[in-house]
Structure formats: structure tokens, C-alpha cells
Amino acid sequence: MADGDWSCDANDALHITVVQPGETKPRTVSTFHPQFTYPIFGDEEQIFGYKGLIIRLRFAAHDLRPHVHISYDERFKAVGETSATDLLGALKPFIPEEALINLADYEKAVQEDPEAKDFTPPGKLVYGYEANERKYEIWAGSLADPAVRRLLDRVQVLVSLFIEAGTPLETNDPEWTLERWTVFFVYEKIKPPHAGGILILHCRVRHSLSVLALPARPHRGSIKISELPARLRIAQFLILPSHHRSGHGTHLYTTIHASCIADPTIVELTVEDPNENFDALRDSADYCLLRPEFLKRNVNINPDPHGAYSKKQRPRTVPTGALIPTEDLNSIRTNFKIEATQFAHIVEMYLLGRIPKSHRLAGGTNLARLLIKKHKADNEDDRRYYWWRMLTKQRLYKKHRELLAELELIDRVEKLDDTVRNVEEGYEITLDALEGRLPEAEDDSGTASSGRREKRKLTVEDEDDEDEEEESTGTPLAKRPKV
Ligand SMILES: CC(=O)SCCNC(=O)CCNC(=O)[C@H](O)C(C)(C)COP(=O)(O)OP(=O)(O)OC[C@H]1O[C@@H](n2cnc3c(N)ncnc32)[C@H](O)[C@@H]1OP(=O)(O)O
């Protein structure tokens, strides 16, 4: 028998189904496939030895009670060493024991759950919002709370199935370690007769161990890790696919950020190995948060630093302090508790947006001419654009100094040029995407933009953006280059 006849795609075979008590038996609310199954079934994401295989992973919409059900038409009879994949053996490390009861018992437990009707998520209600005429609530609780831990244990398999290189969290740790974690849940609040909630997403944040200040002589038992000045780190952020692109991610991220700003013990919000989609969400949320403050302080590039234009004299170095209000920017960054590299991206994006599009590459400006004229260009927006490129290049150069030093001068210049162009293209994508969402429905330069979306292309790869001394919850396999 040819191998291919008995192999199937594990992502297709695995169905994730959300169920809810129905009239007489649980009904399906949504079904979707995973994005990844390599942590469970290996790099090829193939399962051998079954025909018509369906692995159905059910979750109750309210308390996430899990269940695994496996069905198939035919199973390969072992020949020598070749046998069908041991499905339960592969799944067991990822799902709680309670998921392995028989289907009838599971359905009965969901259908007759006395708590389903009035289910309240564990932890504290931190924020409520409406979207598309539906009500949603964000709840947050410490991982030291057994009810939070139970929900997380039940749903953690989704981290392996939807976040590349994401690994489930060890929840058997001692309580002081668990206290460092806060888990956020977003639930849709639904009306009777099927009251309770439907989980939309979950997210874990961690009080980073890079605690910044300890009392001089701590007394045993008097310190709570979660109350020490620290960074808050978003570790894993997951929205069920049926709810993507509805703004839930932005609501949650903004709520976490607001709680950071309000908490005097938190100095900065960071993110662990964000992927490209999360970066897009974070960039647009941070931009919307900071933009009013930038506008209030009239942050812009001075097109004539040290009178360079009037004197027609080129400053020997990039005169950062004369080009942008560095002190103001520092204070905005500290007040909004945004991590330094992320803040630099938002500032660059904002400053780019203040230059009318016709004076930017995206609007067809004549770059070759500008590179001849440089700071002596007649038009002040051309000069702004010239200085924008210099500021961005300066940041990129500092960040990748070692990598660039290995290149010949000519290659170094070319690499930096390519990178700045790719960074700029990335900003243009976000600026375009934000166009309709900004209050004035125009970009910050006051001109309309095209709304075009493209894939980001970045050339110089980041080393680790965040503090490397921190332990990580997963080994990144394919880290998105971010500069
Ligand atoms: C730290 C980490 O955990 S990194 C891993 C992040 N998690 C995952 O990748 C798991 C699977 N994916 C998800 O859970 C979700 O798709 C998320 C968290 C990435 C995004 O959540 P959503 O609720 O869909 O985001 P939301 O609707 O708020 O989108 C906000 C903006 O982010 C950007 N964005 C979000 N998803 C995408 C995407 N797939 N492609 C491009 N842009 C995106 C867009 O600008 C979007 O605004 P728009 O829809 O008006 O254009």
C-alpha cells in the first residue's frame, strides 16, 4: 500500500469546535481548524495510518470544558515496525485528562451544567465594551487563583495550535511564581436562556523578573512579586479565529496598556516575540494612543536644524536634538510606558505621516534629486523627508552597528538604504490601514492616502528586541525580522 494513501494533513484532520448547551443537547457555536499542529504531530504535520480521520477537540463556550473525540473509516494494520500514528499518545501531553471521557458523558456534563446559565469568568471584571451590537467583557485574574488556572489548563492547547513556537505554561509552579502571571479572558456576554459567556480570546501577561527596585531590607513574606516595580510582558495573545478582525485584539491590548499606565508599579509594557499580525495590531493601537499627544505637543521635524538650510552648511552629524524635541519625546515615552524600540517605530511612523505624501517615496517623490540636494532642498517638506531618512538610518545604524561593521563600506550603505526603504514601506502600510480610523479621516500630513496594503519587507534582522536575560515561554522558530 502506498504511503500517501494512508497519510493525511493533521491541520485538516483536527477540528476545533466550541459548544454550548442547546435545547436538548449541546449545539455547535463555531468550528475551525488549527494553524499549526507540528508541536503535536511533528514538523511535517502529517498523520499516518487512517482514512476519513476526524479528531474533534471540543470546548464548552463558558468554562472551556474540553473533550477529544477521534473517528475514522479505516485504520492501517501494523506491518513490521510500521503502524498508525498513536493519536492519543501524541495528544495527551497537550490536553487535560478530563478531555478523555466518553462523548455521551461529556455532552451530558455540558448540557446539564448548572453553572452554564449564570457563568461568571474568574478574576475581576476590568472592562466592558460593545461591538456590532453585542456586549463583551474583559476579565483578569492571577494564575495563583485555581479557577483561572483551571481555565488556562483547559485552553492552553490552543497556544500550540495557533501561536508559532508558543508553548503552554507550566501551571504546577509554586504560588509565588504563579503570582507573576495575570491571565485575561474576553467573553461575550449573552442573554438567557443560554446565558453565561463565550470565550473570545485569552492572553497572559507576566510581571517581568527584571524587577527594578527592591526595598533595601525586605522582610520575609512582606513582598509580593506582583507589587514590585517591574515591566509587564505580554506573553501570549490569542483570539479564536471566528472572532478575528473584529477589534477584540485591540480592545484587549488597549485595556492591558491602560492598566499598565494606571499601575504605579509598572514602568513599561513589553511583548514577548510578537508575530507580524500582533505587530500590526500593536503598531496601530500605539499609534492611535500616542497621536493625540504628539499633535498636542506639535511634534514634527525641524526642517532647518541649526540654520543648516539658511547657512547651506551640512551638519557633520545628524543633529537629533535640533531636529526633534527629544526631551518631550522622552517624557511621552515614560508617561505612556512604551518600550524604547516600539516607541521609536511609532515616532518614526508619525513623523513620516506628517510629511505630505507627495514628498514621500510612497507619493512618488524624486529621491535621486533629493539625495543630491539633501538638506539644501528648497522645499521644507523635502528637507523634512531628507532628515526623516537620516534619523531613521541613524537609529538603524546604531542598532545594527556590529552586523554592518562586517560589511564593506559600499555594501553597508546599500544595506542601510534597503532597510530604511523597507521600514518606510512598513510604516506606509500601517498609515494607510489607519487612514479611515483616525478622527480626521486623513493622514497626519493632511493629505489623502491610497489605502494600499502590502506585505512588509525588512532587510536587517533584529537581534533580540527585548531583554535577553529573561526566561522565555517558547523558543522562537521563525522570528519576524523587526528593525
Ligand atoms: C505575543 C504573541 O502572542 S504573538 C502571537 C499573536 N497571536 C496569534 O498569532 C494567534 C492567532 N491570531 C490571533 O489571535 C489574532 O489574529 C491577533 C491577536 C493577531 C489579532 O487579533 P484581532 O482581534 O484579529 O485584531 P483586531 O481585530 O483588533 O485588529 C487590529 C488591527 O491589527 C491589524 N491586524 C490584525 N490581524 C491582522 C492580520 N491577520 N493581518 C494584517 N493586519 C492585522 C490590522 O491593522 C487590524 O485592524 P483592521 O482590522 O481595522 O485592519
Among the candidates 77, 111, 145, a domain finishes at 111
Show pLDDT as tens, one digit a residue, over the chain (483 residues).
455 589 999 999 999 999 989 999 999 999 999 999 999 999 999 999 999 999 999 999 999 999 999 999 999 999 999 999 999 999 999 999 999 999 999 999 999 998 888 888 999 999 999 988 888 999 999 999 999 999 999 999 999 999 999 888 888 877 778 888 889 999 988 875 444 555 665 565 655 433 333 334 444 455 565 566 788 899 889 999 888 898 999 999 999 999 999 999 899 999 989 999 999 999 999 999 999 999 999 999 999 997 867 776 777 789 999 999 999 999 999 999 999 999 999 999 999 999 999 999 999 999 999 999 999 999 999 999 999 999 999 999 999 999 999 999 999 999 999 999 999 999 999 999 998 777 654 456 654 443 333 333 335 544 444 333 333 333 222 223 466
Express each pLDDT in 160-195 by its tens digit.
999 999 888 888 877 778 888 889 999 988 875 444
Please tell me the residue having the least CA distance from ligand 1 atom 41.
277
In angstroms, what is the span from residue 278 Cα to ligand 1's centroid? 5
Q: Of all atoms in ligand 1, which is nearest to the CA of residue 273?
A: 1
* Residue identifier of the C-alpha nearest atom 3 of ligand 1: 236
Residues 144 and 97 in one domain: no
User: Could you give the CA distance from residue 233 to residue 95 in angstroms, rounded to a whole number?
Assistant: 26
Closest Cα to atom 26 of ligand 1? 247
- Asked if the structure places residue 476 within a domain, the reply is no
Residue 275 assigned as binding residue:
yes
* 335 labelled ligand-binding: no
- Measured in angstroms, how far is the CA atom of residue 281 from the centroid of ligand 1? 5
Domain residue limits at 68: 3-111
User: Do 99 and 133 lie in a common domain?
Assistant: no
**Is 473 within a domain?**
no
Same domain, 210 and 303: no
Query: Which atom of ligand 1 has the smallest separation from the CA of 453?
Result: 41
104 & 128 share domain: no
The alpha carbon of 36 and the centre of ligand 1 are apart by a number of angstroms equal to 17
| Domain presence at residue 259 | yes
**Is this model's pTM higher than 0.90 or not?**
no
Where is the domain boundary, 82, 111, 140? 111
Nearest-atom index, ligand 1, CA of 271: 1
Residue 277 lies in a domain: no
Hey, whose CA ends up nearest to atom 21 of ligand 1? Answer: 249
Could you identify the atom of ligand 1 that is nearest to the CA of residue 203? 3
One domain, residues 162 and 183: yes
239 is in an annotated binding site: yes
Q: How far is the CA of 282 from the centre of ligand 1 (A)?
A: 9
pLDDT at 218: 40
Q: Annotated binding residue at 379?
A: no
Same domain, 104 and 135: no
Q: Is 469 an annotated catalytic residue?
A: no
Is the residue at 480 inside a domain?
Answer: no
Q: Are residues 128 and 104 in the same domain?
A: no
Kindly list the protein residues whose Cβ atom lies closer than 6 A to any atom of ligand 1.
Answer: 162-163, 234, 236-239, 244-250, 271-272, 274-275, 277-278, 280-281, 284, 433
Query: What confidence score (pLDDT) does residue 227 get?
Result: 67
68 with 171, same domain: the answer is no
Residues 101 and 138 in one domain: no
Place of cell 527629544: 326
Q: Of all atoms in ligand 1, which is nearest to the CA of residue 245?
A: 27
Distance 8 CA to ligand 1 centre (A): 29
Is 116 part of a structural domain of the chain? no
Work out how many domains the chain is built from and give that number.
3
**CA-proximal residue: ligand 1, atom 40 (nearest):** 277
Catalytic residue among 45, 179, 188, 272: 272
Nearest CA to ligand 1 atom 30: 281
Specify whether 23 is located in the same domain as 166.
no
How far apart are the CA of 261 and the centre of ligand 1, in A? Answer: 22
Burial of 256 (0-12, 13-18, 19+ CB in 10 A): buried
Residue with cell 479557577: 147
Q: Is residue 472 part of a domain?
A: no
Nearest CA owner, ligand 1 atom 48: 245
CA of 286 to the centre of ligand 1 (A): 14
The CATH number covering residue 34 comes to 3.90.360.10
* Distance in Å, CA 169 to ligand 1 centroid: 22
- Ligand 1, from 206, 277, 279: best to mutate by most atoms within 8 Å of Cβ? 277
The best mutation among 162, 239, 273 to test binding of ligand 1, ranked by most ligand atoms within 8 Å of the C-beta, falls on 239
Residue 479 forms part of a structural domain: no
Convert the pLDDT of each residue in 454-479 to its tens digit.
Answer: 333 335 544 444 333 333 333 222 22
Q: Domain of 246: which CATH number?
A: 3.40.630.30
Instruction: Check: CB of residue 324 under 8 Å from CB of residue 357.
Output: no
Ligand 1 atom with the smallest distance to the CA of 239 is 14
* 165 and 35 fall within a common domain: no
Q: Provide ipTM, 2 decimals.
A: 0.96
Q: Are residues 107 and 161 in the same domain?
A: no
Q: Ligand 1, atom 51: nearest CA belongs to which residue?
A: 433
